[in-house]
Amino acid sequence: MRTNTGRLSTRRLWALSAAVLAGVGGAFASVTTGETKATTRADHFLQARAAPTTAMPPTATASVTTESPATTAGRPVVSPVLPFNAKLTSSDIPVRGGGVRSGACSGSLIAPEWIITAGHCFHDINGAWVGGKPRYHMTVTVGKLKDGDPGGHTAQVVDVRQSPVNDLAVAKLSTAIDDVVPLTLPDKAPEVGQRLRFAGWGSTSATVVAPSDHLKRGEFSVAKIAPTTLEALPVVPRTVENSPCADDSGSPYFVSGDNRTGNLVAIENSGPPCPQPGREIIARVDILTDWIRTQTGDTAR
């Protein structure tokens, strides 16, 4: 989640070493590396998109809202293309000194009541990533390709579980979504050269930062495998439409053979200034498959 007041002068990469893997506790950790220069998406999310308002928004924003979409046999219509994609938006993120700001992230459905996204999409007023009940209202829309499409599902995030080893979180929804096939979790490690598809709702401008009104899509390949992250390169030259920009944090990198279902490999963490050349740093999911299933209650597999 990033905002449009400019990038921080120091570009940081959130990553974890093998030593962290061996000794992590219940909280995440971060280290700085000189190997890869990347703009941390969290840097932008932690800045204000506009001058903060002087008061919290009306309490009505706290209510769980549901659209009144067209229906098929009494059920909401969802996009037949990548229906598992999720758009996350908030308008009441507290800022230091008072007031609130807006922000956005991307994600994907991994269980009827759960989505996966970047850990830095949920933080306290000091910017520390946190779990539990969110400090602000985060609305999640699933099952659309454009904001104006009929149907889809809208819910609120009610609980967050932060990964113990990388910039990743799973978030519980206020309402189960049972007519979308979630992305499946990986049961093996990725390979260098593996092709991955990307889908996110981030900005389509390098200067005017705001979530897109439509789903962006692209294709990447795995360039490097680290203990908790991957580095990915675009298959074709970057544009704001085919690669991550601000507000694409948490976007899924996945494999799909039918444009409707898929297997999740990683999620967006950080990368070069949009849409400049460079490698994306994405959080591995395969190392957390068992942990995710425990958090979501899916321990039967």
The yes-or-no verdict on residue 265 having pLDDT over 90 is yes
Per-residue model confidence (pLDDT) at position 194: 98
- Distance, C-alpha 257 to centroid of its chain: 22
User: Domains of the chain, with CATH numbers?
Assistant: 18-44+184-289 (2.40.10.10), 62-180 (2.40.10.10)
| Per-residue confidence band for 7, with pLDDT thresholds at 50, 70 and 90 | very low
Q: Which of 36-50, 108-122, 193-207 has the lowest mean pLDDT?
A: 36-50
CA end-to-end span of the chain, whole Å?
32
Output the pTM of the full model: 0.80
- DSSP letter string, the chain: ---SS---SS----B--HHHHHH--SS---B--SS---EEHHHHHTS-SSPPPSSPPPGGGGS-------EETTEE---SSSTTEEEEEEEEEE-TTS-EEEEEEEEEEEETTEEEE-GGGSB-TTS-B--BS-SS--EEEES-SBTTSS--EEEEEEEEEE-SSSS-EEEEESS---SSPPPBPPSS---TT-EEEEEE---S-SSS----SB-EEEEEEEEEE-SSEEEEEESS---TTTS--TT-TT-EEEE-SSSS--EEEEEEEEESSTTSSSPEEEEESGGGHHHHHHHHT----
How far apart CA 66 and CA 154 sit, in angstroms, is 5
Give the pLDDT band (50/70/90) at residue 298. Answer: confident
Cis status of the peptide bond prior to 83, with omega within 30 of 0: no
Question: Does residue 55 carry a pLDDT above 50?
Answer: no
184 strand-pairing partners: 263
pLDDT of residue 89: 98
